[in-house]
A and B are shown apart, each in its own frame.
Chain A
């Protein structure tokens, strides 16, 4: 067991991502969202997950990728965090993969800066690369954009 890891996988703009399966609470098809005016752009809305209100983070926007086609409804990967559950909006859900640790590599240079910061590692799989998403960083309220711009910050 110690030399393999399990990842819940999904696609965003053709990139193949994985999140440690232990961090994933569940995977859901598209859920209706309530938009949040004035929110940072990566917040696409709020969803009702069985009575719990979950913030949906648009992974495309988080990774500085172009928005997906409007008619393609994103799927939800619900991950656990200190702040409760957070949903990552992705294009497509893949399967749960078990990979050997020795397939791990450093993130490739071709990723843009923001992307590199969010990628914890890369696994070389037959035919493609699995990018391991650092969920902590991906869902952290980022520092390079301002929330709502209406809260004064003394450190600005």
Chain B
């Protein structure tokens, strides 16, 4: 055989391999669909065609063993298709094993050029037996039936009854090998392309800087075209590298099925956001960690059916995969509705293995305990299974995710399940960003987190910035926006407290969103928006949560990219309260079961300490007692051209008669929380505003304690018992007795906290 003929053969084999691998992945999926819906003739026909193609090609290429296995599988499938057999779990298992066997042999072909020494005789026999089992006894020998189908199996709709489903099968052109319009490209080449585009974007940015200084129309025109072309090139190249996360997830149902079967469990897999796209390199990197977490959930998380039914849960467990983009990051969540982590066992296990000291164990929060599973050498599995529990794994998962600049954490609720959250930053990407200056340096803010830009000057500053014990807030269209001073957060200078902010001539506020919460970032200057190439930071800087990466600006200098979420978490105690509430472990996300809420803390005349979500309030006001005017059954102040009734919270709570009856003689000022809007606005009188804090409030355990309507429960905040006011319920319950037109605000906010 001449060299070129051999090459040609190699090419053929290579093509066959690539094609078959793709087909096999699809087979896994389709077999599972078929198992759930055995009547699906579409799936069956498609499976049959795929196996048939593999069989045909390997016969042609001379891989006889591979052909024999594929043939046995095909024969079984043809009996199914003909309706002589009905689909069952043993058949599904046998067919999945066939797929595995084919995969193994293809791997051999890839490495050694032959279909290897594996013995698949038993599998072939099993497949043949299964063919004979049902509807058998008709004297069928294993082989002959499928032979007949060989020439054009897909075209021959066996029983006339199901002619209809077949034409669409043909029409969708999924016959493997027909890949018009596609070219396979080496990923390495795409990587190089991506790097080059990154460099091109930088060069483009540099060129653009000259435009204002050069008075040449030709130059300006050319740079504009360069600009456009670069942008388009960049987005096209980016797209070539993107893949939906579904590519990885598609393997999950099979893994879960096999595992659940082996463990005698029942697990349903649900997915959301399959189409969420990620860079290919990231997809590759998270494949193994994801699989590991999934296996862990099925193995350790979801209980056996009997145990589940005993707890009143459905016998079938649920594994939920979710992916979405947020803040320039990809979020992946994997949750099960199983037993949750046994924190006591984790504690004792960690002590036993000297991973923590007894003293630490006493101090650790539930969250910190849960995080222990990420430590090397930690495993609480009672018995070592072949699935997980060998004491390797979760630490590797964490390392792998961190290697690509991601973060993983978990939340768990005993009896309700465990959720793993993975956040992966876009390390290899070009993103639009807003460039701001602070403390003499430039910082880039990913545009995805950006809501709006606000510039206050002169009188607006004094009117717009309010201070609550040094914590600055800004009123923006009726809601209070906590302010974070970038200089202060980054430790660049002392930064400004609210009083100092209010004295400035002008303030630039970048309104940002992180984790569904808005805050205003005060910066020295707002420059421009720019496409930036995101480069990851070295390992020394991985721990600095305020930065997501770095980029190179048009002038060649490096600028840091702000991690909006990281920054928000750092600043979670708005303003000067940070010394009182040290950052807690697990600041990475919501505390177990509760949502992070910005709360306003205040005291009442009697000294009762209360909190209310800041988002419920329109404004905080201080009135001189001289401004308060008595009315028929209470007091009001004139406020923004309207009359603001003043409400006594304690009066409301105790007697339902809530009009404020005036200040005790000594006070010169009245502190008022303004709630509602328009005619429905009321002013809640408080003695003192204590603080604004961010707290993860979990009310479930406290609900029973509250007997007063309008109080949601007690929580411990900053070490003191604090009642959580339910403004909506309070206003609803008692509003009718107040002489407030329209009486109440919308009840929609009830579920807050």
- Interface of A with B (CB < 8 Å)? 32-40, 42-43, 45-48, 51-55, 57, 83-84, 86, 139, 141, 146-148, 150-152, 154-155
Flag the segment in B542-550, B636-644, B726-734 that touches A.
B542-550
Q: Report the Cα distance A45→B371, complex, angstroms.
A: 32
Pairwise interchain contact B544-A147, C-beta atoms closer than 8 A: yes
Chain B 506-547: CB-based contact to A (< 8 A → 1; otherwise 0):
000000000000000000000000000001011111111111
Residue B584 lies at the interface, judged by CB distance under 8 Å to chain A: yes
Pairwise interchain contact B552-A53, C-beta atoms closer than 8 A: yes
Q: Report the Cα distance A150→B546, complex, angstroms.
A: 9
Question: Within the complex, what minimum Cβ distance (angstroms) separates B183 from chain A?
Answer: 29
Given A33, A38, A45, which contacts B546 in the complex, CB threshold below 8 Å? A38
CB contact list, B544-584 vs A, under 8 A: 544-547, 550-552, 556-560, 570, 583-584
Q: Report the Cα distance A40→B539, complex, angstroms.
A: 11
Residue B482 lies at the interface, judged by CB distance under 8 Å to chain A: no
Pairwise interchain contact B587-A152, C-beta atoms closer than 8 A: yes
Pairwise interchain contact A154-B199, C-beta atoms closer than 8 A: no
Given contacts A46-B550, A48-B556, A150-B570, contact A36 B541 (CB under 8 A): yes
Question: Within the complex, what minimum Cβ distance (angstroms) separates B347 from chain A?
Answer: 12
A interface: dominant SS: loop
Question: Within the complex, what minimum Cβ distance (angstroms) separates A34 from chain B?
Answer: 4
For A43, the chain B residues whose CB sits under 8 A away are 540-541
Q: Report the Cα distance A46→B570, complex, angstroms.
A: 22
Residue B585 lies at the interface, judged by CB distance under 8 Å to chain A: yes
Question: Within the complex, what minimum Cβ distance (angstroms) separates A103 from chain B?
Answer: 33
Given contacts A53-B558, A152-B586, contact A147 B550 (CB under 8 A): no
Q: Report the Cα distance A88→B712, complex, angstroms.
A: 57
Pairwise interchain contact A83-B539, C-beta atoms closer than 8 A: yes
Q: Determine the residue in chain A with the shortest Cβ distance to B198.
A: A51
13 A/B residue pairs, CB under 8 Å, sorted by A: A37-B491, A38-B491, A38-B546, A40-B543, A48-B556, A141-B539, A147-B544, A150-B543, A151-B543, A152-B583, A152-B586, A154-B371, A155-B355
Residue B686 lies at the interface, judged by CB distance under 8 Å to chain A: no
Q: Report the Cα distance A116→B441, complex, angstroms.
A: 37
Given contacts A154-B371, A154-B375, contact A55 B547 (CB under 8 A): no
For B559, the chain A residues whose CB sits under 8 A away are 34
For B551, the chain A residues whose CB sits under 8 A away are 53
Q: Report the Cα distance A139→B539, complex, angstroms.
A: 10
5 A-B pairs closest in CB distance:
A147-B543, A37-B490, A152-B585, A55-B538, A34-B558
Question: Within the complex, what minimum Cβ distance (angstroms) separates A142 from chain B?
Answer: 9
Question: Within the complex, what minimum Cβ distance (angstroms) separates B494 from chain A?
Answer: 14
For A147, the chain B residues whose CB sits under 8 A away are 540-544
| Known pairs A34-B560, A43-B540, A154-B585 / 10 extra A-B pairs, C-beta < 8 Å | A34-B557, A36-B541, A37-B439, A38-B491, A42-B540, A46-B550, A83-B538, A150-B543, A150-B546, A154-B368
Pairwise interchain contact B544-A148, C-beta atoms closer than 8 A: yes
Q: Report the Cα distance A36→B540, complex, angstroms.
A: 11
Q: Report the Cα distance A47→B558, complex, angstroms.
A: 6
Question: Within the complex, what minimum Cβ distance (angstroms) separates B695 from chain A?
Answer: 17
Question: Within the complex, what minimum Cβ distance (angstroms) separates A6 from chain B?
Answer: 26
